Structure 1
């Protein structure tokens, strides 16, 4: 297929080799791969995102604390319809609406619920993002990227976010607890009883007899966009954490998060 007929997917450039590592672009890459759509990746360094979106006429979908525009990726440009879309969740909705003959990202009448899930999951991982070691930006733009992230966070330097050994361990414990609560959705419980998590990763209670047990995906043998949301954040941790820290997270909740990432590998191709 000619490149002129392919969707252009604008993703954040990493250091070599080029690969997806940020969570929102991962959500879109999962979605494109799952639907089996032809696309090509346009890699963009973070300092160039503002000028690119302005050049293409794609308005910012966020704002900084001071009210100034906050330009992010991903974006997609679809030659079939001429549409340019620059919000991750809106991209997923667009792909289902425009290509209904391909596998569906959303179960029927679940867009609102998935939007709430998206916000909840983003909140959990964002609150613990300081546990990453280093995101794999290209070294040639690292200083510019650090300045951009410091501005977004409202601090003078990213050094302000450095944690002590004790603080890091406390955050790991809190993160495990938060993911343990999230894991209830895979066990189809969702109540207050800690069937699938207790501090230290131990199961103090088991689901009652006859309770349906979930697999790698939330509902069924195939993923939905809700699975891609969590998987995208886990892929970011995989790319940005120290290997020993990532192995620690993979093993939480009986290895659920490792199983999810492994199960999503079918749709993880970087084109």
Structure 2
């Protein structure tokens, strides 16, 4: 049985992390049985150390980064831990070859996935400070300090010319938030061509669902969870690009379950 580690969130108990959504969607798409173990942000390093898992990233300054998603698989009779959504997808394809593939067996597939990731990053990067700030109330009280510190490190790495010492330092006027969403909409309009453009639909890498699509789905589901399905932000998002992103999620409908 596969154990999938996900973050604890205040009620309603919806997954808020785009990163862990990638792996949940991967497991759902492949139709693999698994169970979810919920942990706090502040417990992730303990999970790694307890099980002898190397840090996901070690930065040049020596900081060891421990993050989710993580899975544990006991199919071989002993526990195998895999870190990072892309590495997990590759592991699942290799270990469960009779289930639908996440990583197409084509030339330069890693480069294709990275190119898509870069394109998506370009569409959302300017909105990250607003998105991180909006996510804080959806983090459990015990983990808020950990989450804020992690996001400060992220933002200082992404925007080294605009360093901050605390996420609490970020304050946005309604006009600034509106401008951020307008910029995000423009970025997604540019992304729409990859998915077939107006009045047509295709997946990120072609005719079939791949891991690249789950990268985008994780981001969308995170936005939905943070703002709420009935919020004007999410309802507006679903009209962007002539409804492309609503169609995208509708087509992924069978794999959006959080029941495990």
TM-score range, shorter chain: 0.7 to 0.9
After TM superposition, give the deviation of residue 250 of structure 1 in Å.
1.5
Match of 1:186 in 2: 195
Q: Which blocks of at least 5 consecutive residues in structure 2 are unaligned?
A: 157-163
Q: Distance in 2 between matches of 1:93 and 1:144?
A: 29
SS at match of 1:59: coil
SS in 1 for 2:195: coil
Distance 2:8 2:16 in 1: 9
Which of 185, 195, 201 pairs up with 1:215? 201
Structure 1 equivalent of residue 140 of structure 2: 138
Secondary structure at the aligned position of 1:84 is classed as strand
Q: TM-score, normalised by structure 1?
A: 0.80
Q: Cα distance, 1:107 vs. partner?
A: 2.4
Gaps in structure 1 of 5+ consecutive residues: 1-5, 189-195, 197-212
Which stretch shifts more, 242-251 or 122-131?
A: 122-131
Q: What corresponds to 1:43 in structure 2?
A: 38
Contact kept, 8 Å, 1:8 with 1:76, in 2: the verdict is: yes
Cα distance in structure 2, aligned partners of 1:153 and 1:48: 22
> Matched residue of 2:213: which SS?
helix
Instruction: Verify the 8 A CA contact 1:13 1:138 in the aligned structure 2.
Output: yes
State which of 211, 224, 234 in structure 2 corresponds to 1:225.
211
The TM-score, its normalising length taken from structure 2, stands at 0.83
What is the CA–CA distance in structure 2 between the aligned matches of 1:45 and 1:248, rounded to whole Å? Answer: 31
Q: How does 1:87-236 map to 2 (within 5 A)?
A: 87-109=84-106, 110-132=109-131, 133-135=134-136, 136-154=138-156, 155-187=164-196, 214-215=200-201, 217-218=203-204, 219-220=206-207, 222-236=208-222
The structure with more radius of gyration: 1
Q: How many residues align?
A: 242
Q: Give RMSD over aligned pairs.
A: 2.2
Aligned to 2:2: 7
CA shift in 2, pair 1:227/1:148, >3 Å = closer
Distance in 2, matches of 1:174 and 1:117, equals 19
Task: Give secondary structure in 2 for the equivalent of 1:111.
Answer: helix
- Which structure is higher in helix share? 2
What displacement does 1:46 show?
0.6
Tell me the residue number matched to 2:159: none
